[in-house]
Amino acid sequence: MELDQPRALLALEDGTLFEGRSFTGHGEVTAEVVFNTSMSGYQEILTDPSYSGQMVTMTYPLIGNYGINDEDVESSGVQVSAFLVKEYQEFPSNWRARASLADYLKAANVLGVEGIDTRALTRHIRLEGAMMGALSTLDLDPDSLVEKARNAPHMIGRDLVKDATCRNPYLWWKGKPEPLEVGLASFEWPDGRGKYRVVAIDYGVKYNILRSLENRGCNVLVVPATTTSAEIDKLEPDGLFLSNGPGDPAAVTYAVETIQEQLGKRPTFGICLGHQLLGLALGARTYKLKFGHRGANQPVKDLATGKVEITSQNHGFCVDMESLKGADIELSHVNLNDNTLEGLVHKKIPLFSVQYHPEASPGPHDASYLFDRFVGMMGKVK
């Protein structure tokens, strides 16, 4: 297959170059270059909306060996800008496989490149930080590609939620989206679909979060990120969920305003970007991490119990711990690798949030109890 693969060149904004071969044909893209340390779960990673605007490097060297199936998707399609691996396995072997990774990426018009020295690329990002890159099979001139990388829009200040959110609200029912037959103004909650009515604001939500809520007896209505506080009030939900998503949380000002207006009205649970937006709504600051946390092996300590959880993570921004001091906020979880904030709870009103992904997909299930906590909180208030 190598003879049929066009040469690909990756140029970083600092002038560093990496060569590879495209296993999906020709193309060109600019995006932030990040890495993920998971050993499996590439299909969930590819379809995670939090990766919008990023090309993902897998540190595990062999990718594609179990193909693509119909069950392990986390959104309506591929979300990454490009996919970089050391070695692509073109002949998948798995009883659930319905297609190869190459065919899946080709159908989504997303570049897949192998032969990249992923160890060198990952080490460079760890030392120098995540940076913009230009990947191409069409333009192999190093100077030209470096210039394209330098001119690409950076993550800081970018609102990517507007592209990742759903266009229309929908119910989550029996493990899949169910479009509404009416608008939110005329919506009525269907009977017999769970004990608790939850409005989930979609900033780029992963399907397994919705699966996790439904499995715990929640009747889930997913609404666009631009949904107002007044619209949420009219729906009279038992709980409010703030989803994960891509980009700089500080740029999503409309979401912060809605969350501020909702504070204290009903139990609230935020994950990843939802956690960051909640932090901003509570008066905190956010900042960009050097290279982010992306993988399924991040150790997080629960400060209330002293227990350590191995967690799945995917984020490049973080809430500043110092900016929360003196508020009615308790730090609930901390990352043991770099001591960054991983969770918070409010001392007076029913809300909490975590930076990591308790729904996993891919990753360990150590933190799935947080969904039970949210349900328990709704039960107590109701």
**Are the beta carbons of 155 and 32 closer than 8 angstroms?**
yes
Residue 39 burial by CB count (10 A; 0-12/13-18/19+): exposed, middle or buried? middle
- pTM score: 0.96
Q: What is the pLDDT of residues 351-365, one digit of tens each?
A: 999 999 999 888 888
- Looking at residue 120, what is its pLDDT? 98
Q: Which residues of the chain carry a pLDDT beneath 70?
A: 1-3
Q: How far apart are CA 288 and CA 258, in angstroms?
A: 23
User: Where do the domains of the chain lie?
Assistant: 2-151, 161-381
- Looking at residue 157, what is its pLDDT? 96
Number of C-beta neighbours around residue 253 at 10 A:
12
Angle of CA points 56, 15, 151, to nearest 5°: 75
In the chain the first and final C-alpha atoms are separated, in Å, by: 60
- Looking at residue 217, what is its pLDDT? 95
Dihedral sign, CA of 80, 365, 221, 161? negative
User: Annotated catalytic, 357?
Assistant: yes
- Looking at residue 3, what is its pLDDT? 57
**Are the beta carbons of 275 and 332 closer than 8 angstroms?**
no
Write the DSSP string, 88-138. E-SS---TT--B-HHHHHHHTT-EEEES--HHHHHHHHHHH--EEEEEESS
User: Annotated catalytic, 272?
Assistant: yes
- Looking at residue 327, what is its pLDDT? 76
Q: How far apart are CA 216 and CA 194, in angstroms?
A: 8
**Are the beta carbons of 149 and 13 closer than 8 angstroms?**
yes
**Are the beta carbons of 275 and 344 closer than 8 angstroms?**
yes
CA dihedral defined by 356, 166, 155, 45, rounded to 10 degrees? 50
- In CATH terms, the superfamily for domain 161-381 is Class I glutamine amidotransferase (GATase) domain (3.40.50.880)
Q: Which of 166, 272, 318, 342 is catalytic?
A: 272
User: Annotated catalytic, 365?
Assistant: no
Q: How far apart are CA 51 and CA 166, in angstroms?
A: 16
Q: What is the DSSP letter of 368?
A: T
Of 128, 161, 145, 156, residue with least CA distance to 259: 161
- Looking at residue 65, what is its pLDDT? 97
- CATH code: domain 2-151 is 3.50.30.20
